Structures are given as structure tokens and as C-alpha cells.
Structure 1
Amino acid sequence: MYKADIKVVDCTVRDGGLMNKWQFDDKFVKGVYNACVEAGVDYMEIGYISSEKAFNRNEVGPWKFCADSDLRRIMGNNDTNLKISAMADIGRIDFDDIPPASDSLIDMMRVACYAHQTDKAIELAHHCMDKGYETTINLMAVSKVNERDLDEALSDIAQSRVPVFYLVDSFGSMYCETTEHLLKKYKAALPDKEIGIHAHNNMQLAMSNTITALMGGVTYLDATLLGMGRGAGNCPIEILTAFLKNPKYRLLPLLKAIQEEVLPWQQKIDWGYHVPYLVTGALNEHPRSAMAWMDSERKDDFVGFMKEMHDYE
């Protein structure tokens, strides 16, 4: 599946950190970084950029903030072809928290928002662009957005300067037909912009949805090592790399990082396909209830979880 304009974005530390409050040690982050460099990955999303007023450093690790000193400790001056990305959540960051791009190792700021926050996301993205960053807007939980609100959001995005807009399956609830439908809608509304895909794996369709989006013209592809990410996790970057068959990307460094850095985390946190995540995906619900269930003594009581979620008598 060779395409010259594809950009692969590794989100292992940023999305995986949602499962352990970004409490990764430097060895882990360096291992992921080195793998991305050696594998020819285009972007590594190393975490969030957040306001110190919004989160407590005693509760979350450094990759919730992506301070320049932490970035440089991992990658020096990043004298490589790998670009570094960070995600900014609307309401959890102030304009003043974002340094000029010339003073930062971060190349791309990805602004995450819900449909009703689109105007604020555009404002923040434009602010990042004016400071010299590449930007995207990632509209979350689109599976819950009605057509009218989505059309309004797309209209606002179309009039913005933001060059990349993401199709995000936040709840892992989409089938290929939904992905195809939304992608056509996005492309029709945003003919001058590139589209990205960020898929979750609640129903084991993250890779399938990513391929569907790729076939439909998406150029930014999000994925993580061993699918590591919130709840059911994401499209596995090693499977995506094998599928792309692009000589630019190398599989072996990714497998090395999985073996040495990611596998040990499977003994500590449960991400990936599990039945409770399937249930929330099938019901188009946020995975927080499944995550709480997975942390309880009833994690293997699938029937009980289904009944609780669906109010079965």
C-alpha cells in the first residue's frame, strides 16, 4: 500500500499515558523515540502541553506538560527527520503556556476539541500557527455529534487557516461504513485541507477503519506501539507499518521497542481489546465506565457489565 504523501504519527506516549497518568520513565520514552527515528515514523506525539494550573505534577507525569527541559533530556536537539507533536485540550491550556516554535522542540500542536468548542479550537490553532507551529484540529467524539452541529463545525473549520482536520473515533464505535461516510463528508466540506484518522480499537476495527480512511484519501495516520492507548487502545503501528509496504518505514525498530519497553507495561495496565470495551464501543459510549469496571474485582463479569450498561432486567 505505497503512497508517497502518507504521514505516520506515533501516539504511544501521549495516548498510552491516559492509562497510567503519563508516569513513564525516561528509558521508556527514549525507547519509543529511538524506535520512531529508526523506523522512519514521521511524527511522535510525546504528550500533552497543558497549563500547570490545570494539573498537579504530583499526580501526573511530565508528559502531561511537555516542558522543554524534559523534551531535551530525551532527545537532545532532535537532530533527526522525526517531528515532535504535542496535543492541547481546549480549556486545559492558556495561550501564554505555548512558547514560540523557535524556542521549542515541538513541531506540531494538535488541538483537541468537542463540536461545541470548535470556535475556541480554531482560535488556539491560529495562535499556534502564528507562533510558528504546524497544527491540526482533532474533533473528538464525532460519533455523538448530530448532523447539524457537525455541518456547522465543518463550516467553521473550512473558513479557518488550519491545514489538517482529524476524523477521530473516540469511543471505538465506528464501523467502516461510518468511517467512509464521515470521510466523504469531511472531504466535501474541506476540499483544501488534509484529513487525518485516529481510531480506537473497542471492536477490533481500528486497523480496518484506518485502512478504509487511507483508501479514501486520508494522509495522516495515527497509531501506537502494540496499540497502547486509552481503554481498548489504538491502531497498532506495527500492523500499519507492515500493511503500508513503504520502504520509508522499518518494522524491526518498532518490534524492538515493543519487546523491550511496551510488553512490560502489559503486566501493570490493561489496555487493548477486552469485552467491557467492546460493550461501550457497541453502545457508542465513553470508555470511562469500562475502564472503571476493568479496575474492579468484577473485570471478568462481562454479563454483569452489559446488564449495567444496558439496563437489562
Structure 2
Amino acid sequence: MSIVNIDVTLRDGGYRNGFNFPLDYALRHAALSVEAGFDWVEIAYRKGSLLPIPNIGLTGRGDDEFIAAVAREIGPDRVAMILHPKNITEHDLPAMYAAGARLVRIILPAEGYGPGLEYIRQAKETGYTVGVNFARISQWSGRGIVEVATAATDAGAEFVYLADSNGSLSPVDTTDLTTLTKSVTGGPVGLHAHNNLGLALSNAISAVAAGATWMDSSIQGMGKGPGNLIAEQWLAHLDRTGTAATPLHLGHALELAELLLATVPEGTPSLPLPDLVLGRYDLPVEHRKDVVGGSHHDGIATARILATVR
């Protein structure tokens, strides 16, 4: 079984720094990512995240000029984008393709996913490799997964990603969800893990054991909240087991990690206390403002968080 790897640092890591990666860094990052063996580099959201972010930076906008610059650096066949259907129009997918993007992931909600299906069809007609992300999968019902996965596949989605946005899944949960999704679609399934409970690597291994063949990770785990599956650990694991779709070069991944830490202060790994609690109680990151009071590291804040979610 070969694993297709997507580097999501520039996109998901943007939650740490307002998506304000310097262009020169983004280009160097993408080049080293490909040299490390990533099949795709997901470089940006198209026109923002789920909720508006003031003064959102380069990798939160995904402008055509940025896509074109990365495509010149690493070739279009490595350039991936992701988007929320509510943020785009019918003009965006053709424009992104013309600029140099070749893979697009469309984020579908459990309800009200109809507009996303139309964009899946348009993306297929345009020529993209097309996948879907089921965000906050820990809160989906089994029936919902069956319904939306069937509809997305019928519309032309080539793979389905289970996104543990809240970082709440266990290895057993991940196994069950992967097995269910694969049985419904008959096609490739991927995992986008968050590390709120320190289980991202265990969940990734469990997903692959259950048949997942696509995997997201980020350098130093840089991503929303406590971050994602740590790419360096994941690539080292794949290198030992020989299960990557593309030859891996761990040295380039380590070089990239050093570059990130030297260039982007927000790339330093961290586990903020509220995010651990959000993971425990399966709450999305938007709830941080409701459950945090005072310092993230003192006992008073902890008590307030627990009192709120109990």
C-alpha cells in the first residue's frame, strides 16, 4: 500500500501566524517539501477560512499570482489548494487552474453540502484531481458520512478526507471511521489529524492499517491549535516501512524544519492548555474564546474551562 502525502504547513500553519508567510519563505518551503518527497504541497485556502479573518495573509487568500509563483517553483503537478464553497464563485476554479493549481480539496459540511457538489463537478470538468474534506468528522453521524460520501463520490470526488478538526479522535475511532468511509466509496480515504490529545501519529498509523492511502502532515506539526501530524515523524515512519508513494528524503524534511524554526517564530511546537481541553471535550477551536479566562497556563483558567464544558 502506497501513501500519498500532502504537506499542509503553509495552509494549516497559517492559523498560527495569520497566514502571513513571506513569499520567499513559501517558495523555499514548497521546493524543500517536494525534495523531501511530498506528493503535493497545499499552499493556501482560496479566499479565506470558514470564518472571516481580518487582514488575512498570503496563504489564506490563495491569489492567482501566488499560485503561479509556486507553480513556477515546483511545477503545477505538485500544487494543491483547498476551499470552502461559500467563499468562491464559478470563476475561481478555472482561474486557479490557469494559474497552476492541479489538486483541489473542497470542504463539505455535514448539512447544506449541495453547493459543494456543484464545485466538485466543475473542478472535474476543469481538469483537477479533486477530493473532499469532511471537517470536524468527530461530530458527524455514521449516517451523515454515508450520505455525503456517496453524494461527493457520485459528483466526481476521487478521494475523501476525514478531518479531525477538533483533535478528538482515538485510534479506535479513526479505524472505525476509515473503514466505514472506505466501504461506502470504494475509493481512497485520507486523514487530516490534529494533535490536541497527542494522538495524531497513532491515529495516522491506525488509519493506514484500516486502508487509508492519503495523509496530511505539517512541518513541526505547525497548524491550528496544537497542530497537525508532525511531518518529520510521519516521514520517518514511512521511510522505515517503505510505504510512501514517492521516494522520501528525510534530510530535506529536517532541513525544512530548521528553516521553518529560523524563519517563522510561530512554527515552534506548542500545546496550549485550552486546546488540550477542547480536544478532550470535542469542541472546535472557535470555542476557545468562550472557555478561556486569564492566562492559558494558570489554574484559574483551567478551572474556568472545565466549569464551562462540564
Query: TM-score under structure 2 normalisation?
Result: 0.88
- Report if the CA contact (8 A) 1:201-1:272 is conserved: no
Which runs of at least 4 in structure 1 moved beyond 4 Å after TM superposition?
A: 268-271, 291-294
- The alpha-carbon distance between structure 1 residues 291 and 198, as it changes in their structure 2 partners (threshold 3 A), is farther
**Once structures 1 and 2 are overlaid, which stretch shifts more, 69-78 or 170-179?**
69-78
For residues 99-138 of structure 1, what are the structure 2 equivalents within 5 Å? Answer: 99=94, 103-138=98-133
- Answering whether residue 11 of structure 2 is matched by residue 19 of structure 1, we say no
- The alpha-carbon distance between structure 1 residues 309 and 28, as it changes in their structure 2 partners (threshold 3 A), is farther
Q: What is aligned with 2:57?
A: 61
- Answering whether residue 211 of structure 2 is matched by residue 217 of structure 1, we say yes
* Corresponding pairs, count: 303
Q: What is aligned with 2:159?
A: 164
Partners of 1:230 and 1:271 lie apart in 2 by 11
Corresponding residue SS for 1:87: strand
Shift in Å, 1:61: 1.4
Superposed CA offset, 1:108-152 (max 9, x none): 010012111332222211111111111101011121123333332
- Report if the CA contact (8 A) 2:5-2:38 is conserved: yes
Superposed CA offset, 1:7-41 (max 9, x none): 11000000001222211112321221121121121
Q: What is aligned with 2:199?
A: 205
Shift in Å, 1:260: 1.8
Partners of 2:125 and 2:299 lie apart in 1 by 49
What runs of 5+ residues in structure 1 fail to find an aligned partner? none
Corresponding residue SS for 2:208: helix
Q: What is aligned with 2:28?
A: 31
For residues 1-313 of structure 1, what are the structure 2 equivalents within 5 Å? Answer: 3=1, 5-50=2-47, 59-76=55-72, 78-79=74-75, 83-99=78-94, 103-191=98-186, 193-245=187-239, 246=242, 248-266=247-265, 268=266, 272-290=270-288, 297-302=294-299, 304-311=301-308
Partners of 1:125 and 1:27 lie apart in 2 by 32
Shift in Å, 1:163: 1.0
Shift in Å, 1:290: 3.5
Q: CA RMSD in A?
A: 2.6
Corresponding residue SS for 1:117: coil
Partners of 1:242 and 1:137 lie apart in 2 by 27
- Report if the CA contact (8 A) 1:42-1:83 is conserved: yes
Query: TM-score under structure 1 normalisation?
Result: 0.87
Identity of aligned residues (%): 23
Corresponding residue SS for 1:221: strand
Partners of 1:66 and 1:146 lie apart in 2 by 32
- Report if the CA contact (8 A) 1:50-1:97 is conserved: no
Structure number with higher helix proportion: 2
Shift in Å, 1:75: 4.8
- Report if the CA contact (8 A) 1:195-1:220 is conserved: yes
